[in-house]
């Protein structure tokens, strides 16, 4: 087969398990309590997230699919190469990647696809959506963004197009997105491209509905992190005593996700040999999903060294995919 899984040498760095333990220890000892959204994506979390993307309340994915379907041919024309390396950060099930890849293949361009995802499950889901052949090689990488990018860049020599879709960038605050993009700019070559998906600021009711979907998937997704801690670190969170709460912060311009402890309780975590106390309705902050205006996007581009090639939006202006060049 043309599918290959790249792996890294480990240099005695923390394993994923250690990382989770450290995150939980520091996050639950802090005030206010917090955990990082990065840890949502175990196998179960990745599957729940995939279901979220298919739910009509979570409009982001449908809007981005609308955009990518329309522009995939145009993208290939703009980039205009015989062979290209497409590197995707946080690829999920790959069905959006496929739209872009197909645009390149149809224009006769050879594609080497390097999906990078923290979740092994994503690599499995992706292989059902994207089938390699003579014109399309796939090199999956299970790693964090920049670890994966470094590994991929050591193997690749063609013009690169980096995809960071779905408003994944929304998980970073404004400073972190700047830092991230600057680092990306430095690690690419002159005239490489990036295509980034941004969810736009819009009616708060629409935002709130997307992060409190009627099927309860977002609630499940967030509570699964507590379940993951139970499983991997021997925690004794009782999930029915916690409640999902998603709210828009208009000052930050971000959706915020919390789980609230619906009663006063103690939670013991075996691997940490510690008990964490929760007051009634105390919150654990889990996620930011930042939203953007057109000028937020242009500022980011300008501040980080890129040049805007073109912005692509859906008919209702809910979402933007923005093509930038180094
Ligand atoms: C994958 C980070 C883009 O913030 O919209 C979906 C994750 N969280 N529903 C987002 C998520 C709750 C999603 N991103």
Q: Assess whether the C-beta atom of 212 lies below 6 angstroms from ligand 1.
A: no
User: Is there a contact between 309 and 192 (Cβ–Cβ < 8 Å)?
Assistant: no
Compute the distance from residue 168 Cα to the ligand 1 centre, in Å. Answer: 7
Query: Distance between CA 208 and CA 254 in Å, rounded?
Result: 10
CA dihedral 99, 103, 106, 110 (to 10 degrees): -100
CB of residue 53 inside a 6 A radius of ligand 1: no
How confident is residue 16, by pLDDT bands cut at 50, 70 and 90?
Answer: low
Q: How far is the CA of 212 from the centre of ligand 1 (A)?
A: 11
Q: What is the mean pLDDT of residues 272-299?
A: 97
Whether residue 6 contacts residue 141, with contact meaning beta carbons closer than 8 Å, is answered with: yes
Protein residue with least CA distance to atom 10, ligand 1: 289
Is the preceding peptide bond at 32 cis, omega within 30 degrees of 0?
Answer: yes
Whether 258 and 285 have beta carbons less than 8 Å apart is answered as yes
Q: How remote is the CA of residue 26 from the centroid of ligand 1, in Å?
A: 23
If one counts every other C-beta atom within 10 angstroms of the C-beta of residue 17, the result is 11
- Secondary structure class of 209 (helix, strand, coil): helix
pTM of the model: 0.93
Assess whether the C-beta atom of 289 lies below 6 angstroms from ligand 1.
Answer: yes
Which two three-digit tokens encode residue 276?
Answer: 């964490």
Q: Which residues contact 186 (CB under 8 A, 6 or more apart)?
A: none
Packing angle between helix 95-106 and helix 59-79, nearest 10 degrees? 20
For residue range 22-63, list pLDDT tens digits in order.
999 999 999 999 999 999 999 999 999 999 999 999 999 999
Which pLDDT belongs to residue 105? 97
pLDDT tens for 234-262 read 999 999 999 999 999 999 999 999 999 99
Q: Can you state the angle between helices 294-303 and 174-187, rounded to 10 degrees?
A: 50
- In this structure, the residue with its CA closest to atom 14 of ligand 1 is 168
Residues in the chain: 326
Cβ proximity of 182 and 305 under 8 Å: yes
Distance 289 CA to ligand 1 centre (A): 6
**215 in Cβ contact with 55 (< 8 Å):** yes
């Amino acid at each position: 087969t043309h599918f290959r899984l790249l792996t890294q040498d480990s240099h005695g760095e923390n394993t994923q398990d250690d990382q989770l333990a450290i995150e939980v220890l520091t996050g639950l000892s802090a005030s206010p309590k917090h955990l990082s959204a990065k840890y949502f994506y175990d196998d179960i979390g990745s599957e729940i997230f995939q279901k979220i993307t298919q739910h009509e309340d979570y409009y982001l994915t449908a809007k981005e699919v609308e955009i990518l379907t329309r522009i995939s041919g145009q993208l290939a024309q703009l980039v205009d190469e015989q062979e290209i390396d497409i590197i995707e950060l946080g690829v999920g099930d790959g069905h959006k990647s496929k739209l872009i890849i197909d645009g390149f293949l149809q224009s006769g361009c050879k594609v080497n696809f390097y999906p990078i995802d923290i979740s092994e499950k994503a690599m499995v889901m992706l292989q059902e959506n994207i089938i390699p052949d003579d014109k399309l090689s796939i090199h999956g990488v299970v790693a964090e963004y920049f670890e994966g990018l470094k590994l991929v860049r050591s193997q690749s020599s063609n013009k690169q197009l980096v995809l960071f879709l779905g408003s994944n960038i929304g998980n970073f605050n404004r400073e972190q997105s700047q830092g991230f993009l600057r680092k990306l700019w430095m690690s690419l070559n002159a005239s490489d491209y990036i295509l980034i998906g941004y969810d736009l600021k819009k009616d708060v009711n629409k935002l709130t509905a997307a992060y409190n979907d009627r099927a309860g998937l977002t609630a499940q997704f967030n509570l699964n992190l507590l379940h993951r801690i139970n499983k991997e670190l021997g925690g004794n969170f009782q999930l029915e005593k916690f409640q999902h709460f998603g709210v828009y912060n208009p000052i930050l311009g971000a959706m915020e996700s919390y789980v609230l402890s619906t009663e006063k309780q103690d939670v013991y975590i075996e691997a940490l040999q510690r008990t964490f106390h929760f007051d009634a309705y105390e919150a654990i902050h889990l996620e930011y999903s930042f939203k953007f205006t057109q000028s937020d996007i242009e500022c980011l581009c300008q501040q980080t060294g890129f040049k805007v090639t073109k912005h692509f939006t859906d008919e209702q202006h809910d979402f933007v995919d923005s093509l930038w060049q180094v």
